[in-house]
Amino acid sequence: MKLREAASTIFALTAILPLLLFVYFMWRFGLLDSTEVQTGLFFALAIALLGYALFRRLTGRVAELGRALGQVVSEPPASATAASPGKAPIVPAPAKGTPADVAGLGQISEIGEIAQAFGRMLVELRASTERLEDLVFKLGALNDMVEMAARIPRIEDLLSHVLERTMRAVSASIGSIMLLDRERQTLRVAVGRGLQEPGRGPVEVKVGEGIAGRVVEMGEAVVVEDIEKDPRFGKTNDPRYGGGSFICMPLRVAERIVGVVNLAKKDIAPGTTGVFSQTDLQFLNALATYTAYAVDNARLFEEAQQAAHRLQEVVEDQKLRLTLAQQQMIQAAKLSALGELVAGVAHELNNPLAVVVGMSDILAQQVPDNLKTCVKDIQEATDVARRVVQGLLTFGRQMPLERRHVSLDDLIEKVLALTAADLGLESVKVDRDLAADLPPVWADGHQLQQVLVNLVTNAKQAMAEVPEAERRLKVTTQALGADRVRISVQDTGPGIPAEVLPKIFDPFVTTKGSAGTGLGLSISYGIVREHGGQITADSRPGRGATFTIDLPVGAAAGGVVTEADEQPRRLAGKRLLIVGHDPSVQKILLEHLEPTGCTALTVASADEARQQLRGGIDLVVADFNLVGVDWITLLRQATAHGSTDGRRFIFIADTPVGEEARVALREVGARLLCKPFTRDQFLDALTEAVS
């Protein structure tokens, strides 16, 4: 039944039927003949007809609106029919509705159409609500990822969170994020979820190959409806993403691509797959922008951290170097102060020691045979004292080195031979690891011998605390390039305490308690430093100690006086002038000269010496430290005028002279002897001057 037919029926039952009953009763009681009744019936009928016309028009309009509403709702937009992520698809209602039952009237088609239209409106409203919820979820996911990018500095952790939230937002079951290595032009999986064949290890794809490689090359996203049917997934090196829809979105920072996002196998309902929606694509596009900048910022942050770490290492290294330099400066200052003190003491000892050495040489020539042994003991003792004084002066950098070409192998063998008896008594086994073909060093062999003997003796004393079977001494030599050599002395003693090691070369620092003076290593440090080398100590408690000496090979300087060749002393008939010495020293010199057959004169001042020089003097032995005389200036002036020859002069100094004075003496050909000196050293100097 149509709505208009139903309206006519309703009008007949509510308006016409009561009017007919009223006419019947008026006729039954004879009232129809009345003009008033007839007029009333006419107006009632006219009003009823007018109401019927209006009611029909109203119901017709309602029917038209119902049909129009049914047509609109039965043809929804395409987006309404698409499935929302994770939801069931919306099935639209048919164009024609099923008639609705109305009590007493039967089925009214227009009412059925209106009911179905309202039903479809509810379905569409539910779908719109679900789409709105999905959009809100995705916007929340984007907001969360922006916050995570600010909180998570590590790229791996950030990408893991981003991928997980993205897969939940678009209902993807498989996904990965690949980062671009610009140098190698490859994409490498940085993080993945649900990838098949997990045992294959990291996956790499070259730019231009596969879907991900082409996305990087083209710079545009790619959407695939069915992975299984796309030939671009046939590569063996591509990650397998299962079946269903697939999307690859580039991660772009401005015009630079830093990677791609891969998502696949989108589930709509259990056992079904479908394609990504337009909302998903919009969401992923926005996500790719945020992710790209987050990845780039995280990369920059890591690079900044690495740069800061490297800078910190450089700062720490420079601080360590500065600390070492400060320690070396402090060490040098300590040694310099001590050196000046020791050198001052040594200088005061030189004069009396020179007398003792000279007198012992004289006694050796004159005493009876039964006393020669005693005199020899005096000479050996004074020789030891003389070398100790020279060592102290060298420590104070005031004693010039007597440099020669020294073979380190020979020197080490000599040192081990000198200490062999002591090492044997202590059951110390000696290992040698001497490099072949080491160049000889230009050094003072006696001074280096003193250093090595000191190190070997210290090692022997340190190993006295360990079992005899574990006492081993190892001496090693090696070349450090063409111009440096290294000597190492290693023991198996208890080692040097950590608190003592930084100041082991300081004066008066010792690990021997009252048995040591604490000067041995300090003097060794000064000797090695004077040679232009470096000595260091390395030790771990309980693992012994290693002392390392690095020395320059060096070369003989021009004009350096080397050892004199053995030659007979030709002094007979020569006239010598001794100028300005202490009476005791003059007496010793005259005693040394008496057996040579020469004539010796003594004067106290330089003026007297000038007068005697005009009388045919062959050699002059003068006090270099004579008060009021500048011998170097006088010799330079005399040599320039040709009035004398500097090679005739031998100077004897109480204290070592500076390098400038030594060079000046070499320039004029004069020789220099430093107290204390032996008879043989004095006569050798005279013989060289005569020759």
Examine the pLDDT at 476 and tell me if it is beyond 90. yes
Examine the pLDDT at 309 and tell me if it is beyond 80. yes
Taking residues 667-674, report their average pLDDT.
82
Residue scoring higher pLDDT (519 or 514): 519
- Contacts (Cβ under 8 Å, ≥6 apart) of 114: 66, 69, 70, 97
In this structure, how many other beta carbons lie within 10 angstroms of the beta carbon of residue 490?
21
Answering whether pTM is above 0.75, one says: no
Examine the pLDDT at 332 and tell me if it is beyond 50. yes
pLDDT digit string, tens, across residues 253-281: 877 888 888 887 655 545 444 667 777 77
Instruction: Name the most confidently modeled range: 63-77, 232-246, 522-536.
Output: 522-536
Q: Which helix (H) or strand (E) holds 177?
A: strand 172-181
> What DSSP character marks residue 436?
T
> Beta strand 256-266 with 172-181: parallel, antiparallel or unpaired?
antiparallel
* 379 vs 384: CA distance, rounded Å: 9
Taking residues 496-505, report their average pLDDT.
83
- Give the pLDDT confidence score for residue 71 in this predicted structure: 64
- Give the pLDDT confidence score for residue 551 in this predicted structure: 92
Q: Which helix (H) or strand (E) holds 525?
A: helix 520-530
Instruction: Name the most confidently modeled range: 4-13, 199-208, 580-589.
Output: 580-589
* 225 vs 320: CA distance, rounded Å: 63
- Give the pLDDT confidence score for residue 206 in this predicted structure: 85
With b for 16 or more beta-carbon neighbours within 10 A and e for fewer, the 509-539 pattern comes to ebbeeeeeeebbbbbbbbbbbbbebbbebeb
- Give the pLDDT confidence score for residue 452 in this predicted structure: 92
* 18 vs 37: CA distance, rounded Å: 15
Identify whether the C-beta of residue 455 lies closer than 8 Å to the C-beta of residue 525. Answer: no
Q: Give start and end residues of each alpha helix (H) in 249-277.
A: none
Examine the pLDDT at 124 and tell me if it is beyond 50. yes
- Give the pLDDT confidence score for residue 548 in this predicted structure: 94
- Give the pLDDT confidence score for residue 83 in this predicted structure: 43
Examine the pLDDT at 620 and tell me if it is beyond 50. yes
pLDDT interval class at 560 (50, 70, 90) = very low
Taking residues 649-657, report their average pLDDT.
79
- Give the pLDDT confidence score for residue 347 in this predicted structure: 66
Least confident of 230-244, 473-487, 532-546: 230-244
In this structure, how many other beta carbons lie within 10 angstroms of the beta carbon of residue 278?
10
Residue scoring higher pLDDT (296 or 176): 176
pLDDT interval class at 139 (50, 70, 90) = low
* 5 vs 268: CA distance, rounded Å: 47
- Give the pLDDT confidence score for residue 633 in this predicted structure: 79
Structure tokens given for 321: 């170097």
- Give the pLDDT confidence score for residue 72 in this predicted structure: 58
The DSSP string of 536-568 is EEEE-TTS-EEEEEEEE---PPTT---PPPP--
CATH classification code of 404-552: 3.30.565.10
* 645 vs 668: CA distance, rounded Å: 8
- Give the pLDDT confidence score for residue 412 in this predicted structure: 92
Tokens 């916050």 appear where? 147
What are residue 210's DSSP bridge partners?
Answer: none
- Give the pLDDT confidence score for residue 241 in this predicted structure: 55
Identify whether the C-beta of residue 596 lies closer than 8 Å to the C-beta of residue 683. Answer: yes
To the nearest whole number, what is the mean pLDDT of the chain? 76
pLDDT interval class at 233 (50, 70, 90) = low
* 588 vs 210: CA distance, rounded Å: 104
Examine the pLDDT at 475 and tell me if it is beyond 90. yes
Examine the pLDDT at 415 and tell me if it is beyond 80. yes
Taking residues 40-63, report their average pLDDT.
79
Examine the pLDDT at 78 and tell me if it is beyond 60. no
User: What is the percent of the chain with per-residue pLDDT over 90, rounded to a whole number?
Assistant: 6
pLDDT interval class at 487 (50, 70, 90) = very high
pLDDT digit string, tens, across residues 79-100: 444 444 444 444 444 444 445 5
Residue scoring higher pLDDT (615 or 665): 665
* 415 vs 153: CA distance, rounded Å: 63
- Give the pLDDT confidence score for residue 565 in this predicted structure: 40
pLDDT interval class at 69 (50, 70, 90) = low
pLDDT interval class at 556 (50, 70, 90) = low
What are residue 651's DSSP bridge partners?
Answer: 622, 672
CA distance readout (Å), 221 to 142, 218, 281, 333, 645:
19, 9, 9, 73, 100
CATH number among 3.40.50.360, 3.30.450.40, 3.30.70.3270, 1.20.1290.10, domain 152-276: 3.30.450.40
Find out whether the peptide bond into 494 is cis, omega within 30 degrees of 0: no
In this structure, how many other beta carbons lie within 10 angstroms of the beta carbon of residue 611?
10
User: What is the percent of the chain with per-residue pLDDT over 70, rounded to a whole number?
Assistant: 73
Taking residues 25-51, report their average pLDDT.
81
Domain spanning 575-690: CATH 3.30.365.10: no
pLDDT interval class at 108 (50, 70, 90) = low
